Structure 1
Amino acid sequence: MKKQDLGGKVVEMEEPDLVTVVNEQVSGNSSEHIDVNVPKTNFCTKLKGLCFRNMNAVRRVSVEPALLVVMISMGLTGGVSMQFVQHRIFENFNISTSGGGGGCNVTANLTEAQKEAQLEFNGFNVISGFVGGIPALFVTLIVSAISDKVGRKLPLLLPIVGMLCGTSVFLLVSHLHLPLTVLLVSNIVFSFTGGYALFFSGCASYVADTTSKKDRTFVFALLFTLSLIGSGIAGIAAGYWIKASGFNPPFWLAFAMQLITVFYLLFWVPETVKSTEDVLTNKPKPSTASTLCQGLSGILNVAEKGRRIWLLLALSVQFLALAVFGAINSILTVRLLSLPFCWNSVLLGYFNATKPFINGLGLTLGTRFFTRCLKDYAVIQIGFLSTIAMLIVICISTETYGMFLVNVAGCFHALPPALIIARMSKLIEPSLQGALFSLTGTIESLANILGPFILGLVYQATLNTFSLAVFVVMIALTVVAMIIVGILMLIEGSPDGQKYQEFMSDSEQDDDMIKSTTSPNVGYDE
């Protein structure tokens, strides 16, 4: 007899029962015989069992530390690489990049060399963004969908391997003074490994596997909070570190953090997807293409259950929320560096550092307390109202202290994307969570590409006539998202809306199943 810890409950098990159960299943037909090979206990199995023995907290803390570390490393590499590219381009034109507040220079006072350098820098950023964004759309869609069959380790590890390759390329370019075009190789590699969208979808799928429905909303909000805090920590550290030691030390730290995360995910985080059916029946594993088609068709063929329109509307809300979210960050930075504010890099660094901390605090507290007395849709609407309030403050503020109120007014504007994803996760069956998050990850990548690009063109076109027009457009898009959320509320409140409550209901049986399938001693693939 062997005692096994299943989420805090000790259950006595007998290992030979696996063969007995299979023989009982086929006892009705004596001509059939299934050979079952019970895995032998080896050193790795004993080591993993020793690490996870009596550790009930593993179910509650698993991918969250990895997400925080990855966001810190991405914050370091992203911000530092842009400054490195600017430094190298301006150095080629014999232009000094020291000092701040250059954004307030009048265009007419710029030299021809400065104009050419700025154009080259902007062009490099545009090309880098598209090269690093488009392939990730398809990779995220494919890998997240097949993770329902092959496991969650693939979407978690693949992007970090891409980060390691990209960080290594940057270090080579910096130490060997290679051409900047080599940096595009790192963006291509990172994009073809899925990037942040794939990693976050892997984390979301893992959380959906290991949490009950009643806890899922808060845990998804926690993931978004860790993402924001990680980028904020990186924003504070990177600027001072570059000034003191140059560009290379932050990248060496990021390389070490990414390498540690790989080992953490490999040996510490248990797998949550294990296909025992194929082992018991000796069925051949389906191909990647068939697995992808099955996952996506399972998501798209929910019409018979009346959920296709609901899902499409929810994805539309996610796209609008993330598009506005990303565009605000990029356009507001340009506005703060220009007239009438003329902020320097230090003041802008403090603003960008406080923003994720305030948003993360509002997201965590808002999810924890608002959802206790309000429904999810009401909390989502509060988040959109906070976004509108933030955009209004941006439009009416002309002083520095007024712009710092932007973060206070928008403290809840990260609520909608977190809660709408949690709502979709509750509606989709556990076997299709990976396929769902392949769609949400693709929508996130698309929003991060199109949102800043299209709204940035609007800002550029109206800069000399009505520079606040882009923020008015953002308010209009937020209102559209609020109307769609209202439609979702009407759909669930209709006579046929009982089916949604049935799918989203959280029972004690579901919680027990989650606890048993996410035991620290279960789910390892040798």
Structure 2
Amino acid sequence: MKRLYLVEPVVALYAFSSFLIYPLVQQYVYRRFWQQLTNTPYPVSDNTSRCAPSNSSSNQTDFHKEVQKQTSLFSLYSELLSTIPSLIVTLVLVAYSDRGGRKITIIMPLIGMLIYTSTFLAVSFFELNIYLLIGSSFLCSLFGGIGTFLGGCFAYIADLCQDDRQKTLRMAGVDMMIGLLSGVAAISTGYFLRAAGFNWPFFTSALCLCLTLVYAVFILEETVRKTPADGSDIDGSPQCPRLRQLIFGFCQIFARASYKCKIVLALLMIIFTSFVFTYIGGISLMTLYELNEPLCWTEILIGYGSALSTTVFLTSFLGVSAFTYCGVPQLLIAALGILSVLSGLIMVAFAKTTVLMFLVRIPMLLSIMPFPVLRSVMSKIVSKSEQGALFAYLSFLESLFNNIGSAVFNSIYAATVGWYPGFVFLLAAGLCVIPLSAIAGVALIGVDVTTEPIKSEDGTSEEDGQAEENDTSPLLSSSSVNTSAGHC
């Protein structure tokens, strides 16, 4: 069978199967807690609203707050228990992929996600204890997570791309693929749930994951030449023991760079991680916020809202493509994306009507732009032999701050939902100042990393397609000249 160098179908199917159940997770937990705390069935009729006024409106409000609090704490416990295993697996697997191949970083998370989805199906079908879902989340994390999966996919793409423009656009294309397929899944989730309940969406997701595994195992081609058993590379040069390589691979990224490039790389990682923390932390509470008073959205509205939110992947891809074509500095592209998130989060904090909650998605249309741009910029700084180590580190940091952000904002939401549910979104908007300040710091340093060659271990410069890279838009300005004395 002929194998293909196309990782996009894997990303597409994974995004569809994942986002088919992601909007359902909080809804399912919310309904189970509603039934436990109120001893009444969850109202699903078109003519019945959980926010409808009643003689016991005070008790209903108390029930709303308690269900919101318990659901938020459940998400917090699940995140905390799965964070550390997922981080360790991400760090080891993606770094190991430099020698062992990229496919292992793609296949392992698919297996874990299949286990998680199957457990959800079993809990829903047999009405098992809801806290079994926390155990399945922990088990899933032992196979890695979405950080492992995306880290492997981006390293796979970096192996195939020779110039910076192609790398940036293809990474943005992966983000767009995630957005399109997750949008299709999200918009169908509400109708699927209304027509068939929770069981069939979980079963459909598990079936899609099985198809994805078949493609990844039997059709997707490997991009990394395996290291021989004697520990030598393909070209005959001896290699460090694998454990030592995993430990010191990240240090070598900084050791081979000049002082200015080290600062730039560190600041870029600060931008990346602080943006992940604020963006994911705020967005993760959107469904809970929509379920709460005064919005009280149904599953249909939540599906439409989730689908509309995923259009940011498409618009961000178009934004990156247009800005790159026009020669807009890449730091400015990232800053525009962060400002897009900041303005959207402020609107969410004050959204009290359905119309305004839908309009919130408009200022956030460019919110995904910083992710592919920052990944591409950092990928340019390190050598090709260290792409796996870089993306392992980025995936580790992304997963770490993703989980920390979700845990922190869930705990804050549980503490503040009683007096002002929108406080967490204002907090997230305020924290966007951190990545914006770091971008200003990189701009002030004035190092054009796209024109600085990387030092190899023997002290010589690695050009690695430098001729093509010089044609791309520089990091700091559209006509910047490298004036630094050191080289990366």
* TM-score where L is the length of structure 1: 0.77
Given the alignment, which residue of 358, 361, 374 partners 2:314? 361
Shift of 1:166: 2.3
Shift in Å, 1:131:
1.8
Aligned to 1:380: 334
CA distance in 2, matches of 1:323, 1:158: 25
Report if the CA contact (8 A) 1:159-1:196 is conserved: yes
2:208 aligned with 1:257: yes
- 2:297 corresponding residue in structure 1: 343
In the alignment, is the contact (CA less than 8 A) between 2:29 and 2:71 conserved in 1?
yes
Change (3 A) 1:96 1:462: closer
Whether contact under 8 Å (1:104, 1:338) holds in the other structure is no
- SS of 1:95's equivalent? coil
Aligned partner of 1:159 in structure 2 is 109
> Between Structure 1 and Structure 2, how many residues are aligned?
453
Maintained 8 Å contact 1:103/1:337: no
**Take 1:297 and 1:433, find their aligned partners in 2: how far apart are those partners?**
13
Q: Which has the higher helix share?
A: 1
Distance 1:314 1:103 in 2: 45
SS at match of 1:110: helix
The letter of the residue matching 2:156 is: Y
3-state secondary structure, aligned to 2:192:
helix
Change (3 A) 1:349 1:173: closer
Distance between the aligned counterparts of 2:168 and 2:237, measured in 1?
A: 37
Aligned-pair distance for 1:469?
Answer: 4.3
Q: Does the Cα contact within 8 Å between 1:384 and 1:416 map onto a contact in 2?
A: yes
Partner of 1:522: none
CA contact (8 A) 2:176 2:316 kept: yes
1:473-526 residue CA offsets vs partner (Å, 9 max, x unmatched)? 3333222211211211232348x9953799898446899xxxxxxxxxxxxxxx
1:140 maps to what in 2? 90
2:347 is aligned with 1:393: yes
Contact in 2 for aligned 1:144/1:202 (Cα 8 Å): yes
Q: Is the Cα–Cα contact under 8 Å of residues 73 and 410 in structure 2 kept in the other structure?
A: no
Q: 3-state SS of the aligned residue for 1:194? A: coil
2:186 equivalent to 1:186? no
Using the alignment, how far apart are the partners of 1:78 and 1:427 within structure 2?
35
Matching residue of 1:270: 221
Corresponding position of 2:473: none
> What residue ranges of structure 1 are gaps of 5+ in the alignment?
1-46, 53-57, 512-526
Counterpart pick for 1:97 among 42, 60, 64: 42
Q: Residue 178 and residue 497 in structure 1: after superposition, are their counterparts in 2 closer, same or farther (change >3 A)?
A: closer
Aligned equivalents of 1:406, 1:112: Cα separation in 2: 28
Tell me, yes or no, if the aligned pair for 1:197 and 1:445 is still in contact at 8 Å.
yes
Q: Tell me the distance in 1 between the aligned counterparts of 2:420 and 2:122.
A: 45
What's the offset of the Cα at 1:398? Answer: 4.7
- RMSD over aligned CA atoms reads 3.3
Name the aligned partner's letter for residue 228 of structure 1.
G
Q: AA paired with 1:166?
A: Y
Q: Is the CA contact 1:462–1:469 (under 8 Å) kept in the aligned structure 2? A: yes
Query: Which of 160, 163, 168 is the aligned partner of 1:217?
Result: 168
Q: 1:423 aligns with which of 377, 381, 393?
A: 377
2:429 and 2:69 map into 1 onto residues whose CA distance is 30
Aligned 8 A contact 1:151 1:271 in 2: yes
- 1:178 deviates by 3.6
Q: Which amino acid aligns with 1:328?
A: G
Q: Which amino acid is the alignment partner of residue 40 of structure 2? A: I
The answer for the alignment partner of 2:19 in structure 1 is: 75
CA change 1:107–1:425 in 2 (3 A) is farther
How many angstroms apart in 2 are the aligned matches of 1:360 and 1:366? 10
In structure 2, relative to structure 1, the CA distance for the partners of 1:346 and 1:424 (3 Å cut) is same
Looking at structure 1, the residues matched to 288 and 65 of structure 2 have their Cα atoms a distance apart, in angstroms, of 17
Q: Deviations over 1:131-185 (max 9, x none)?
A: 2223111111111111111110110111111122223333333444443333333
CA-CA distance at 1:108 after TM superposition: 3.2
Task: Tell me the residue number matched to 2:323.
Answer: 370
Going from structure 1 to structure 2, the CA distance change for 1:325 and 1:510 (only over 3 Å counts) comes to: closer
- Mapped to 1, the partners of 2:464 and 2:207 lie a distance apart of 43
Aligned AA for 2:216?
L
- Give the distance between the partners of 2:394 and 2:28, measured in 1 at CA: 32
CA distance in 1, matches of 2:29, 2:419: 32
Deviation at 1:348, TM superposition (A): 3.0
* Conserved? CA contact 2:193–2:299, under 8 Å: no
On the 8 A contact 1:90/1:117 being kept in 2, the answer is yes
- Residues 1:403 and 2:357 are matched in the alignment: yes
Corresponding residue SS for 1:274? coil
- Shift in alpha-carbon separation, 1:500–1:466, aligned structure 2, 3 A: farther
Question: Partner letter of residue 282 of structure 2?
Answer: I
Matching of residues 254-333 of structure 1 within 5 Å: 254-275=205-226, 278=232, 287-304=241-258, 306-333=260-287
* Residue in structure 2 matching 1:124, options 61, 71, 74: 74
Q: Would the aligned equivalents of 2:260 and 2:447 in 1 still touch at CA under 8 Å?
A: no
- Give the deviation of 1:264 after TM superposition: 0.8
Greater alpha carbon shift after TM alignment, 101-110 vs 430-439: 101-110
The SS at the match of 1:408 is: coil
C-alpha offsets along residues 311-338 of structure 1, whole Å, 9 cap, x if unaligned? 2211111112112221332334444444
- SS in structure 1 at match of 2:222: coil
Specify whether residues 253 and 439 from structure 1 end up closer, same or farther in structure 2 by C-alpha distance, changes over 3 A only.
Answer: same
Q: Secondary structure at the match of 1:98?
A: coil
CA distance in 2, matches of 1:426, 1:104: 56
Instruction: Supply the distance in 2 between the matched residues of 1:509 and 1:123 (Cα, whole angstroms).
Output: 51
Amino acid at match of 2:316: L
Provide the rounded CA distance (Å) in 2 between the counterparts of 1:241 and 1:130: 30
Answer yes or no: is the 8 Å Cα contact 1:101–1:345 preserved in 2: no
Q: What's the CA shift string for 1:431-471, capped at 9, x where partnerless? A: 11111111111121122222233334445555566655444
Matched, 1:65 2:9: yes
In the aligned structure 1, how far is the partner of 2:425 from the partner of 2:64? 29
* Matched residue, 1:200: 150
Give 2:427's aligned residue. Answer: 473
Alpha-carbon distance change, 503 to 226 in structure 1, aligned in 2, over 3 angstroms: farther
Equivalent of 2:442, from 488, 491, 494? 488
What runs of 5+ residues in structure 2 fail to find an aligned partner? 455-460, 471-488
- Where 2:285 maps in the other structure, the secondary structure is helix
Q: How far is the alpha carbon of 1:280 from its aligned partner?
A: 5.8
CA contact (8 A) 1:151 1:274 kept: yes
Q: Counterparts of 1:470 and 1:113 in 2: how far apart (Å)?
A: 21
User: Which AA in structure 2 matches 1:102?
Assistant: R
CA distance in 1: counterparts of 2:166 and 2:450, whole angstroms: 22
**2:249, 2:89 → 1: CA distance?**
15
**What code does the residue aligned with 2:319 have?**
G
